[in-house]
Every structure is written in C-alpha cells, then in structure tokens.
Chains A and B, each alone.
Chain A
C-alpha cells in the first residue's frame, strides 16, 4: 500500500507542477465570469445559463485532465527509462498500475474540488441559495465516472504505442459513450439481425458513463438522486475500474519495457 501511495503522490505532484490544470481552470473561470457579467434585458436574476456553461466547462476540463494526465504516465516512464529503477525498487508491475491509477484518480479529484468550489461560489452568489448536498453528489458521481475513464486510459496506455493515439482514441470512446451510450438500445432495435444483437451486446458491454452526468439536475434545481442509486452506480463504476485495471496489468506484466 505504501508503494502504491508513493507512486500516486508522484503523479499528484506532476499535476501541480505542470500547467495543464492552471490553464484549464483559468479558461473555465474567465469564460464563466465573462458570461456571468453579461446583462440580458436588464435582468440580473438569470443564473441557469451561467451554471450550464460553467458545468459544461468543468466537464470538459475534467475529461481533458483525466485523459491527458493518464495517457502519458506509463509511456513517459518507458521513454525516460525511469521505469527500470522504479521496478528495481522492488516494485511489482501490479503496484505500478495501481499507483498510477490512484495518482491520476486522486489528481482528478483534487482538480474537481477546485473547479466545483469555483462553481459553488459563482452560482451561490448569483442564486443566493446553496444546495451543497446536490453539489457534493454531482462531484462524487463525476469523480467516480472519471475513475472509469482513468482506468480505461491506463489500459490504453499499455496497449497503444503512442500517447497521442491513446489520448485521441480514449476521447472518442468516452465522448461516444457520453453522447450515444444511452441510445444504443434504440439504435439496435431499428437494425436487422445480426447487427441488432451486436449493437445490443455493445450496449450492455460498455460502461454507461452518461449516468454520472447529473448536470441537468443541478442546473434546473431538481431533487437529489436517491442515495441507493448513487451507491449502486458507484459499485457499477468500481467493477469497470477493476476490469480495466486487471486488463492493463495482464497486458503490462508481459510487455517488454524497452522501446
């Protein structure tokens, strides 16, 4: 456990040493504040469009941080040949995978906390009400979803040869699931066999990341998602994380480390 945490802490240090997060945070803040400062028809009560824009930017930023940070972890260690002294500590390859995963996931969590704090302050000061539990639940669900993304990208980083191809493919897959995952069953029903079975199979196979997107509930002041559903969704995500991490380890344990 100590070894895993040590590897994770290096990844977290990397997040605050690199400029990615700062750039994304400043962009999110500037765009949100500029949009928030615009007066439409001399009405200052409008707040949902600001929440909508801010949450969209938070989602985009969090995905960029998760995918970009994770995609470069193992390839960078191999390119710089720092993987050899790391494995000579001794550290097992399973610990490397788990450490990198924990580091990236925790780094995403820290970035999310900062982004949500900004969001809470902006929407709270305009709306004058503070549904903190709703914000915490949305943050938790998004973080859990990012765990699946991080595990998936980590698997990609041991399968694909370059960081860029891994990051691009991961973006396409994640966005594809977020936009289309929910409707694959509808699409399947309109097809003929065997495409119907294939698409329906894919629908059951993919992790349904769109569940964790509860932005609309925050923007339109809806009730909390039931806590039982919240924990079931967390369990579902943990299962997918385990599948992807196990897959990553299975590929990585037999992979030659020389480039």
Chain B
C-alpha cells in the first residue's frame, strides 16, 4: 500500500525526467537538420532573420550614425539635407584634399540664427565642425560594423571601415573586413581597389596589389559591358595606381595604356596627359638605351 503511494507521488517527477531526456535526445538529432529545413543558410545572422529586408533602412541609419560620430555630433538634419554631404568621400579625405575642401563648404549648413529661440537653442547643441582625431577615430567603426551586419551589400561600409582600420594600424582586421565584403559582393571593384591599396600601401606587396587591381579593372569593365554605368572616377583611380606599378615594373607601354584609360574618368585629364607624354618620351628613349648593350 505504501509502495503504491510512493510510486504515485514520484510518478510525475519520473515522467518529467523522461520528457526532459526525450527533449534532449531529440534536440541532439534535430539540431543539425533544422538548418537544412529552412532556406536560411549559415550566412544569415539573427538580425537578418528578425528584420528581413527592413534591415537595410537600419543599415543606412547606422552608416549615417558613423558619419555623425565622425563629426562629433555636428551633422545636418533632414531639413538641412540639401546642404548635407552627398557622398562618403569626406570620410576618407585628408585636410587640404579637394574632397575635404568641398566638404567644409557643405558642412557650413547652420547659417546665422533666425530668431532668439534658435540663437538660444544653439548653446545646447554641438555647433562646431570638427573631425575625429587620434585614438578617437576608431569610434566610427562599431557603427560601420553594425551597418555591414545589417546590409552586407552596402559597399561603402567596407571601404570606409577598411580605410580607418588601416589608419589605426589594424591592417589584418581591415583585410579580413574587406574579404568579408568581397564574399558578399564578389563583383565589387571598389572593395578590390581598397584591398589593392591595403596590399600596396600597408603591406608593401606590389605583386599582390597588381593582381587585385587587375581584377578590379576587369570587374569594372564587366559592369560597363553589362550597361551598369560603373563609377568612372573609380576607374581613374584603379588605372592610375595600376599604371604606377606597371611603370615600376618597366612595362611602360601598359602604363601609358592605363593612363589613357584613366583619362576617361579623371577630373584632371590634362595632368594625366602630361604624364603620358613623359612616359612616351621615356619609352622612345628605351630602345636607344638598350641598343648599345645589344650590339
């Protein structure tokens, strides 16, 4: 009689333990299969699953937040958007460069206050246009990383982040981040160009840089052939950098060819023409110099 009572008392606990054991066993079997059931692969992160395509909006917002952070809070509102920076070149421009000067003009959006409320309100806002300096430059990186997580197809995120990572001496992290970007955007000549810069400027590896820039040029041409209207300014940058490498390697004919290609997108084609003329002169003197040796 007492034994029956004990069994009745313990019964629910035994069932609970057995159910937990069954859950555990099933979990070990199902864990691997669940990912195959869904079309979401391993590349999908939690944010993508939660937000769907709406995540791109958040990604844009985080990218803007990186820019806000870069300006220490001094940033135009939607009401000042007409005078807001239209591109991201200022994020990677040094003082004195044309992009930086143009940006300086764009960022003087406040103007004189229109009334006493606006005048008084400015005492509480950041009203000075500054850029991050020194160790603070890394402060924009978390926003860029978040933007890349949310929208892996936003190419500027990778190039801007890689620029600052290199600037901070984090070359390996920059390379890793650019490669992540390349995985999501295999046709991006922008990322390839930035990767080439990393090899050339940070790793001093010209051979590797040339391969990557060659590939960037090929990707640019493919996009032009496909009628996607790729950025001609970027073409100029790729071609000029590649031409410099070819010149160092002694392939002057290809260097000239690349500079001629760069003229298509350069804002200063006349400067490139001068360089082309110099190289042509050099090329013309080359056989003559080689001639005595061959005799």
A212 touching B124 in the complex, CB below 8 Å, given contacts A40-B145, A46-B141: yes
Can you list 20 A-B contacts (CB < 8 A)? Answer: A41-B170, A43-B138, A47-B139, A48-B136, A49-B143, A52-B65, A141-B124, A182-B121, A183-B79, A185-B114, A185-B118, A186-B79, A208-B117, A210-B121, A211-B121, A213-B124, A216-B72, A217-B124, A219-B73, A229-B124
Q: Which of B72, B121, B145, B177 contacts A208 (CB 8 A)?
A: B121
The answer to whether A187 and B79 touch across the interface, beta carbons within 8 angstroms, is yes
Q: A55 CB to closest chain B CB, in angstroms?
A: 12
Complex: how many Å from CA A61 to CA B138? 29
Task: Report the interface size for chain B: residues with CB under 8 A from the other chain.
Answer: 29
Q: Which of B77, B138, B173 contacts A45 (CB 8 A)?
A: B138
The answer to whether B124 and A46 touch across the interface, beta carbons within 8 angstroms, is no
Complex: how many Å from CA A217 to CA B77? 17
Specify which chain B residues have a CB less than 8 angstroms from the CB of A212 in the assembled complex.
124
The segment from A24-32, A220-228, A245-253 that touches chain B is A220-228
Q: Which of A40, A208, A229 contacts B142 (CB 8 A)?
A: A40
Complex: how many Å from CA A164 to CA B177? 48
Q: B238 CB to closest chain A CB, in angstroms?
A: 26
Complex: how many Å from CA A33 to CA B165? 25
Q: Which of B226-253 contact A (CB under 8 A)?
A: none
- How many residue pairs, one in A and one in B, have C-beta atoms under 8 Å apart? 83
The answer to whether A222 and B72 touch across the interface, beta carbons within 8 angstroms, is yes
The answer to whether A41 and B121 touch across the interface, beta carbons within 8 angstroms, is no
A203 touching B124 in the complex, CB below 8 Å, given contacts A41-B145, A43-B141, A49-B139: no
Complex: how many Å from CA A222 to CA B123? 12
The 8 A CB mask of A199-221 against B (1 = contact, 0 = none) is 00001100010111110110110
A225 touching B124 in the complex, CB below 8 Å, given contacts A49-B69, A186-B79, A204-B117: yes
The answer to whether A211 and B120 touch across the interface, beta carbons within 8 angstroms, is yes
Interface residues of B (CB under 8 A from A): 65, 69, 72-73, 77, 79, 114-115, 117-118, 120-121, 123-126, 135-136, 138-139, 141-143, 145, 165, 168, 170, 173, 177
17 further A-B contacts with Cβ under 8 Å, apart from A49-B69, A220-B69, are A38-B142, A40-B145, A41-B138, A41-B170, A43-B168, A48-B136, A141-B124, A182-B77, A183-B77, A185-B114, A186-B114, A210-B121, A211-B120, A211-B124, A222-B72, A226-B123, A232-B120
* A238 contacts B by Cβ under 8 Å: no
Complex: how many Å from CA A189 to CA B118? 14
The answer to whether A41 and B117 touch across the interface, beta carbons within 8 angstroms, is no
Specify which chain B residues have a CB less than 8 angstroms from the CB of A187 in the assembled complex.
79
Complex: how many Å from CA A2 to CA B136? 52
Closest to A186 in B: B79
Complex: how many Å from CA A220 to CA B127? 12
Closest to B173 in A: A41
Complex: how many Å from CA A186 to CA B83? 14
Specify which chain A residues have a CB less than 8 angstroms from the CB of B118 in the assembled complex.
182, 185
* A113 contacts B by Cβ under 8 Å: no
Q: Which of B136, B142, B173 contacts A49 (CB 8 A)?
A: B142
* A233 contacts B by Cβ under 8 Å: yes
Q: A228 CB to closest chain B CB, in angstroms?
A: 9
Complex: how many Å from CA A220 to CA B136? 10
* A80 contacts B by Cβ under 8 Å: no
The answer to whether B114 and A46 touch across the interface, beta carbons within 8 angstroms, is no
The answer to whether B143 and A220 touch across the interface, beta carbons within 8 angstroms, is no
Complex: how many Å from CA A211 to CA B116? 13
A216 touching B141 in the complex, CB below 8 Å, given contacts A203-B117, A211-B120: no
The answer to whether A216 and B79 touch across the interface, beta carbons within 8 angstroms, is no
